[in-house]
Amino acid sequence: MRNQKAVEVVAPWETEDGQRWLEELSPWGQAMRLIHGTLQLETKKHPQEIRAAASLVLMFCRENLWPTRDENHIDRVLELAARQLTSIKQLYENKARSNPEMMTNRNYRNLLVSIDQEVRILEARMSDPKPPMPNEAPASWGDVWI
């Protein structure tokens, strides 16, 4: 039997070559600028676009995956996404106050739970030390998380 060296399994973006590739990938930077710009839109007019942008922040805020190593930049984007999601949740809650039967709708309740989970994940990623990403997807995401 050969003496084999154990290989550590890491995410593709955690390798030095993977990180360098992401940093040099021009469309990646363009996508990040689009995400940041979308997060600055007015929540009343663009709630779905903002949620889509925030979902990408959730997926890309993993350690070493965001295209910059500037923690201040990452934290600002995380904070903006969390703030916008909170604002969107308030919009949905206000709609439910004027339409109480919405509260009995399972999809609506799952949406609110999902937004709460999304905000908690973003806030956790701003904490120090950063916790590992949860294994479970936010309630409305299905299997896309893993």
Give the pLDDT of residue 31. Answer: 85
C-alpha 36/C-alpha 61 separation (Å) is 13
C-alpha 10/C-alpha 109 separation (Å) is 36
One-character DSSP codes across 96-127: HHH-GGGGG-HHHHHHHHHHHHHHHHHHHHHS
Tokens standing for residue 102 = 């919405």
Could you read off the pLDDT tens digit of each residue along the chain, which spans 146 residues?
A: 556 666 676 777 778 888 788 777 778 778 888 999 999 999 999 999 999 999 989 888 766 666 666 777 788 899 999 999 999 999 999 988 888 888 888 889 889 999 999 999 888 888 777 666 665 667 667 655 54
Give the pLDDT of residue 115. Answer: 93
C-alpha 17/C-alpha 113 separation (Å) is 38
Tokens standing for residue 13 = 């973006």
What φ, ψ does residue 105 adopt, rounded to 5°?
A: -80, 120
Q: Determine if the pTM surpasses 0.85.
A: no
